[in-house]
């Protein structure tokens, strides 16, 4: 709620810049300092995001059909989840957007007290969003991400942008003034919503 996605969407819909849409903002149950939307033992946050949440939305909002386009977005650790899950389950999503994202598991050490090893699931490469982007490159949906110029994750985001560019993989990458903070995300959630509208056209 602090990101104000619902407020930004209401503004854009009122201005005629965004068609009405449903926004689901699920929590990971505050596992530790954040789950990274990975499976941790019996607590499978990956399945929660990609299976359970869309099913719950369809049950609560009957107008959302099975075939309704599904987008995934997030910020910081949620940005990592959006990048990784959006790529891993590329066939399910119409677009992926991330703000100030963790881009590799080792970066969790900047934000959490738990060992980084807890953010590696299965073979180590499967916790890396870039691994899935390359693996699913033929079906990867439109992708955008951004980062603030004073954000501690700026260089990792630049590295992901460079890696995707080197692979000739289409994506949008932007940098804006700002830090790793709510005011930055409140301002740039508009980028995600306008991206959704562009993809839908």
Using alpha carbons, list the distances in angstroms from residue 187 to 50, 72, 100, 129, 190: 26, 18, 12, 25, 6
Question: 147 - beta bridge partners?
Answer: 175
Q: What digits encode the pLDDT tens for the residues 145-179?
A: 999 999 999 999 999 999 999 999 999 999 999 99
Q: What digits encode the pLDDT tens for the residues 9-58?
A: 999 999 999 999 999 998 776 666 677 787 777 778 888 899 999 999 99
Q: What digits encode the pLDDT tens for the residues 52-110?
A: 999 999 999 988 888 889 999 999 999 999 999 999 999 999 999 999 999 998 898 88
CATH, range 5-200: 3.40.50.1820
What pLDDT score was predicted for residue 32?
65
What pLDDT score was predicted for residue 172?
98
Element (DSSP H or E) covering residue 134 = helix 129-135
Domain boundaries in the chain? 5-200
Residues 162 and 105: their CA atoms lie apart, in Å, by: 18
- Pairing relationship of beta strands 143-148 and 172-176 according to DSSP bridges: parallel
């Amino acid at each position: 709620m602090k990101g104000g996605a619902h407020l930004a969407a209401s503004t854009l819909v009122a201005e005629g810049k965004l068609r009405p849409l449903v926004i689901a903002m699920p929590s990971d149950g505050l596992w530790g300092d954040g789950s990274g939307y990975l499976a941790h033992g019996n607590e499978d946050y990956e399945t929660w995001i990609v299976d359970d949440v869309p099913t719950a939305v369809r049950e609560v909002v009957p107008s959302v059909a099975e075939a309704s386009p599904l987008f995934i977005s997030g910020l910081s650790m949620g940005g990592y989840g959006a990048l990784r899950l959006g790529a891993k389950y590329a066939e399910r999503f119409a677009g992926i957007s991330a703000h100030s994202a963790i881009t590799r598991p080792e970066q969790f050490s900047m934000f959490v007290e738990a060992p980084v090893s807890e953010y590696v699931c299965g073979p180590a490469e499967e916790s890396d969003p870039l691994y899935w982007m390359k693996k699913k490159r033929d079906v990867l949906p439109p992708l955008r991400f951004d980062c603030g110029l004073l954000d501690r994750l700026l260089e990792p985001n630049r590295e992901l942008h460079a890696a995707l560019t080197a692979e000739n993989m289409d994506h949008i990458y932007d940098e804006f003034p700002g830090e790793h903070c709510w005011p930055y995300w409140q301002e740039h959630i508009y980028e995600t919503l306008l991206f959704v509208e562009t993809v839908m056209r």
